[in-house]
Chains A and B, each alone.
Chain A
Amino acid sequence: MEMFIQTLVAGILIGGVYALIGIGMTLIMGVMRIINLAHGQLMMVAMYITFVLYQFLNIDPYFALLVAPPALFLIGAAIQRYLLNPLIKIESIIPENQVLMTVGIGIVLTETIRFMFSSDYKSVKTSYSTATFNIGAISWNVPMVVAFILAVVLTASLFFFLLKTDVGKSVRATAQNKDAAMIMGINAEWITQLTYGLGAAMAAAGGTLLLPIYYLFPDVGGPFTLKAFIITILGGLGSAVGAIMGGLVLGVAESLGATYISMALKDAIGMVIFLLVLVFLPGGLKQLTKV
Chain B
Amino acid sequence: MKSLYAKIAVLALLAVFPLFVGSDYYRHLVIIALMWVVIGASWNLLAGYTGQVSFGHAIFFGVGAYTAGLCTTQLGISAWWGMLLGGPAAMLVGILIGFICFRLRGAYFALATIAIAEILRLIAIVWRDFTEGMQGILIIQTFRSKVPYYYLALGIAVICMLLIYKIIKSKWGFYFIAIREDQDAAEALGISTFRYKSLSLMVSSFFTGLAGAFYMNYMGFIDPEVVFSLHFISIMAILVSIIGGAGTMWGPSVGAFIMVMLQELFRSSFFGYAPSWVSHAHAMAFGVLVILVIRFMANGVVGDWSKITNLWSKGKPAALVTNGN
Q: A residues bordering B, Cβ < 8 Å?
A: 34-35, 37, 83, 86-87, 90-97, 99-101, 103-108, 110-112, 114-115, 222, 226, 229-230, 233, 237, 262, 264-265, 267-268, 271-272, 274-275, 278-279, 282
Asked whether, in the complex, the Cβ of B115 is within 8 Å of the Cβ of A93, the reply is: no
* Residues 299-311 of chain B, each 1 if its beta carbon lies under 8 Å from chain A, else 0: 1000100000000
* Inter-chain contacts of B114 with A (CB < 8 A): 226, 229
Output the nearest chain B residue to A265 by Cβ-Cβ distance.
B126
Dominant SS at the A interface?
helix
If A96-B53, A107-B283, A229-B111 touch, whether A271 touches B118 (CB-CB below 8 Å) is yes
Nearest CB of A to B197, in Å = 14
A110 to B116 alpha-carbon distance, docked (Å): 23
Asked whether, in the complex, the Cβ of A87 is within 8 Å of the Cβ of B295, the reply is: yes
A106 to B234 alpha-carbon distance, docked (Å): 15
If A107-B290, A111-B284, A271-B119 touch, whether A282 touches B108 (CB-CB below 8 Å) is yes
A108 to B231 alpha-carbon distance, docked (Å): 12
Output the nearest chain A residue to B303 by Cβ-Cβ distance.
A93
If A86-B295, A94-B47, A268-B119 touch, whether A107 touches B231 (CB-CB below 8 Å) is yes
Of B76-84, B99-107, B167-175, the one touching chain A: B99-107
Q: What would be 18 A-B contacts, judged by CB atoms less than 8 Å apart? A: A83-B295, A87-B298, A91-B298, A95-B51, A96-B110, A97-B294, A100-B53, A100-B238, A103-B55, A104-B289, A104-B291, A107-B235, A107-B290, A264-B125, A264-B126, A268-B118, A271-B119, A274-B115
Q: B residues bordering A, Cβ < 8 Å?
A: 47-48, 51, 53, 55, 100-101, 104, 106-108, 110-112, 114-116, 118-119, 122-123, 125-126, 180, 230-231, 235, 238, 242, 246-247, 280-281, 283-284, 286-291, 294-295, 298-299, 303
Identify the interface centre among B115, B118, B280, B284: most chain A CB within 10 Å of its CB.
B115
Asked whether, in the complex, the Cβ of B284 is within 8 Å of the Cβ of A94, the reply is: no
Asked whether, in the complex, the Cβ of B288 is within 8 Å of the Cβ of A108, the reply is: yes
Which among A105, A108, A226, A264 is the interface contact of B284 at CB below 8 angstroms? Answer: A108
* Inter-chain contacts of A226 with B (CB < 8 A): 114-115, 118
Output the nearest chain A residue to B123 by Cβ-Cβ distance.
A268
* Inter-chain contacts of B126 with A (CB < 8 A): 262, 264-265, 268
Nearest CB of A to B93, in Å = 13
A279 to B98 alpha-carbon distance, docked (Å): 11
A195 to B249 alpha-carbon distance, docked (Å): 38
A183 to B100 alpha-carbon distance, docked (Å): 39
Asked whether, in the complex, the Cβ of A101 is within 8 Å of the Cβ of B294, the reply is: yes
Asked whether, in the complex, the Cβ of B53 is within 8 Å of the Cβ of A111, the reply is: no
Given contacts A96-B107, A107-B287, 5 further A-B contacts (CB under 8 A): A35-B110, A92-B294, A111-B284, A237-B107, A279-B100
Identify the interface centre among B48, B53, B289: most chain A CB within 10 Å of its CB.
B53
Asked whether, in the complex, the Cβ of B299 is within 8 Å of the Cβ of A92, the reply is: yes
Asked whether, in the complex, the Cβ of B288 is within 8 Å of the Cβ of A94, the reply is: no
Nearest CB of A to B306, in Å = 13
Asked whether, in the complex, the Cβ of B116 is within 8 Å of the Cβ of A271, the reply is: yes
Asked whether, in the complex, the Cβ of B119 is within 8 Å of the Cβ of A103, the reply is: no
* Inter-chain contacts of A233 with B (CB < 8 A): 108, 111
Nearest CB of B to A187, in Å = 23
A265 to B230 alpha-carbon distance, docked (Å): 18
Nearest CB of A to B225, in Å = 11
A275 to B287 alpha-carbon distance, docked (Å): 28
Nearest CB of B to A167, in Å = 27
A173 to B114 alpha-carbon distance, docked (Å): 31
If A95-B51, A97-B294, A108-B288 touch, whether A275 touches B100 (CB-CB below 8 Å) is yes
Which among B122, B284, B290 is the interface contact of A268 at CB below 8 angstroms? Answer: B122
A35 to B122 alpha-carbon distance, docked (Å): 23
Asked whether, in the complex, the Cβ of B125 is within 8 Å of the Cβ of A93, the reply is: no
A247 to B51 alpha-carbon distance, docked (Å): 31
Asked whether, in the complex, the Cβ of A265 is within 8 Å of the Cβ of B122, the reply is: yes
Identify the interface centre among B51, B111, B231, B247: most chain A CB within 10 Å of its CB.
B111
Asked whether, in the complex, the Cβ of B246 is within 8 Å of the Cβ of A94, the reply is: yes
Identify the interface centre among A94, A96, A103: most chain B CB within 10 Å of its CB.
A94
If A90-B298, A93-B247 touch, whether A99 touches B287 (CB-CB below 8 Å) is no
Which among B100, B290, B298 is the interface contact of A278 at CB below 8 angstroms? Answer: B100
Asked whether, in the complex, the Cβ of A267 is within 8 Å of the Cβ of B291, the reply is: no
